[in-house]
């Protein structure tokens, strides 16, 4: 079972149950059936700080991913911790579904490119 912890520090109302539902669908479609996931919705200033601190780029962005276990093989009995996806509603507007999906796929090891774009489109159509 996937355990999802959602934090909304964005100052914007977000459909948190919808985010949990989308994350569950994406992860299940990718064959991830158990583990822990964090989703944070943050304001532009926090997103700018995160991108500067972790990527050295001083600007806000739509989504950042911080993978931990991803699809790595884990020893028996060790719970899977997928990592965190951070989304900035002020950058993406009302449509946070694509950035969340994009961030989840990064947690699972996808890199930018045609394969990732095709998978995003397929998942968002479902």
Predicted confidence (pLDDT) per residue in 86-99, tens digit:
999 999 988 899 99
Give yes or no for a contact between 7 and 39, defined as CB atoms under 8 angstroms apart: yes
CA distance linking residue 84 with residue 64, whole number of Å: 8
- In angstroms, what CA-CA distances link 90 with 10, 47, 75, 124? 8, 10, 40, 21
User: In terms of CATH architecture, what is 2-125?
Assistant: 3-Layer(aba) Sandwich (3.40)
Give yes or no for a contact between 41 and 63, defined as CB atoms under 8 angstroms apart: no
Domain extents in the chain: 2-125
- Reported as a pLDDT band with limits 50, 70 and 90, residue 71 is confident
CA distance linking residue 64 with residue 73, whole number of Å: 24
Is 90 exceeded by the pLDDT of residue 70?
A: no
């Amino acid at each position: 079972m996937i355990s999802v912890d959602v934090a909304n520090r964005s100052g914007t109302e977000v459909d948190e149950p919808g985010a949990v539902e989308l994350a569950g669908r994406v992860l299940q479609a990718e064959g991830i059936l158990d583990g822990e996931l964090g989703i944070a919705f943050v304001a532009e200033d926090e997103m700018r700080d995160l991108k500067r601190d972790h990527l050295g780029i001083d600007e806000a962005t739509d989504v950042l991913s911080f993978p931990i276990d991803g699809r790595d093989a884990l020893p028996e009995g060790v719970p899977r911790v997928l990592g965190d996806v951070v989304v900035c509603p002020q950058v993406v507007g009302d449509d946070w579904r694509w950035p969340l999906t994009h961030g989840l796929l990064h947690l699972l090891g996808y890199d930018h490119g045609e394969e990732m774009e095709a998978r995003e489109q397929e998942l968002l159509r479902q």
